[in-house]
């Protein structure tokens, strides 16, 4: 699933490609992403609105439209956007087409149909955005905040980091990588991390996320940038997916465990 760096990469590319374009027509081939909205109501809501800019909140993409509406999108496992010249007909996994005023198409493709698209008049009207916690690349995310927040929970640290209501944007890959960089075990209860540990965790969270954004995210299986390009951060992963390989620091084999039905990768010697 795309995490913060992947969604940030897509946001930047969409801004380069479709900023200022107007939506002339919406074709819905499969309506799963629209929840309870009818395809007609969804298309009406977007008709002839300009894509003023695209931004990100946690793992959500937000299209800012004029006259004012917001198209809030979560890609889930396999959702992606493609900008293309007009096509004769949809490919099998194309779910929606947004026909733009310069003749190009913005395609929403989703193999597993778990992605979501929601139109709201105000961002505060989006229940999914309202539930999100702090942005880890914002100024508000500081060592003091993290120390305080960790102290209020006994949840194992890896699960704590992935809870979108606490910090928005971290998933399985980056939680594992950040904990390795900080030298902290993924199974430690959140409230066992002292001020010094929280400060290290804070620093590494920002550092790993920024580095991954510079490398356009991580492509393991499904993630593609706009137009099927891949990210490059998979070449810089230290522990994720490396079961049995020597730890880059101490050569101890990397271990894989299950936490909340997800794989966690870590070095049992370096991460205490």
Please give the positions annotated as active site. 2-3, 59, 262
The residue with its CB nearest to Zn ion is 247
Q: Which residue, 10 or 267, is less far from Zn ion as judged by CB?
A: 267
Site string for Zn ion, 251-270 (x = CB under 5 A): -x--------------x-xx
Please choose, from the candidates 226, 213, 218, 223, the residue with its C-alpha nearest in 3D space to the C-alpha of residue 14.
Answer: 226
Strand order, beta sheet including 60-66: 50-57, 60-66, 69-74, 116-120
Q: Is 249 in the site for Zn ion (CB under 5 A)?
A: yes
Q: Which residue, 16 or 269, is less far from Zn ion as judged by CB?
A: 269
Q: Which residue, 214 or 251, is less far from Zn ion as judged by CB?
A: 251
Evaluate whether 157 touches 193 at the Cβ level (below 8 Å): yes
Q: Which residue, 78 or 185, is less far from Zn ion as judged by CB?
A: 185
34 Cβ contact list (under 8 Å, min separation 6) = 28, 42, 117, 118
Chain mean position to CA 267: 25
Q: Is 247 in the site for Zn ion (CB under 5 A)?
A: yes
* Residue 204: CB minimum distance to Zn ion, A: 15
Q: Is 246 in the site for Zn ion (CB under 5 A)?
A: no
Q: Is 250 in the site for Zn ion (CB under 5 A)?
A: yes
* Residue 255: CB minimum distance to Zn ion, A: 10
Q: Which helix (H) or strand (E) holds 158?
A: helix 157-162
Chain mean position to CA 258: 21
Burial classification of residue 198, based on how many CB atoms lie within 10 Å of its CB (0-12 exposed, 13-18 middle, 19 or more buried): buried
* Residue 245: CB minimum distance to Zn ion, A: 11
How many residues interact with Zn ion (rule CB under 5 A)? 7
Within 10 Å of residue 184's Cβ, how many Cβ atoms? Answer: 23
Q: Is 184 in the site for Zn ion (CB under 5 A)?
A: no
Report the interface residues with Zn ion, using CB under 5 A. 247, 249-250, 252, 267, 269-270
């Amino acid at each position: 699933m795309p995490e913060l760096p992947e969604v940030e990469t897509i946001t930047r590319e969409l801004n380069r490609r479709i900023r200022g374009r107007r939506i002339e027509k919406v074709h819905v081939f499969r309506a799963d992403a629209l929840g309870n909205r009818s395809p007609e109501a969804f298309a009406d809501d977007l008709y002839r609105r300009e894509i003023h800019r695209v931004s990100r909140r946690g793992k959500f993409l937000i299209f800012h439209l004029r006259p004012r509406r917001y198209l809030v999108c979560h890609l889930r496992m396999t959702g992606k956007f493609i900008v293309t010249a007009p096509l004769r007909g949809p490919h099998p996994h194309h779910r929606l087409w947004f026909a733009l005023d310069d003749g190009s198409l913005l395609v929403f493709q989703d193999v597993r149909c778990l992605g979501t698209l929601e139109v709201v008049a105000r961002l505060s009207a989006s229940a999914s955005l309202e539930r999100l916690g702090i942005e880890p690349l914002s100024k508000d995310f500081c060592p003091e905040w993290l120390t305080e927040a960790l102290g209020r929970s006994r949840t194992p640290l890896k699960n704590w980091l992935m809870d979108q209501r606490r910090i928005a944007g971290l998933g399985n890959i980056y939680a594992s990588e950040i904990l390795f960089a900080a030298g902290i075990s993924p199974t430690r209860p959140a409230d066992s991390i002292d001020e010094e540990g929280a400060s290290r965790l804070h620093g590494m969270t920002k550092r790993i996320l920024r580095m991954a954004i510079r490398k356009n995210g991580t492509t393991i299986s499904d993630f593609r940038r706009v137009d099927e390009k891949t990210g490059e951060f998979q070449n810089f992963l230290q522990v994720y997916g490396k079961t049995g390989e020597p730890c880059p620091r101490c050569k101890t084999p990397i271990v894989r465990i299950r936490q909340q039905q997800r794989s966690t990768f870590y070095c049992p010697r370096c991460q205490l």
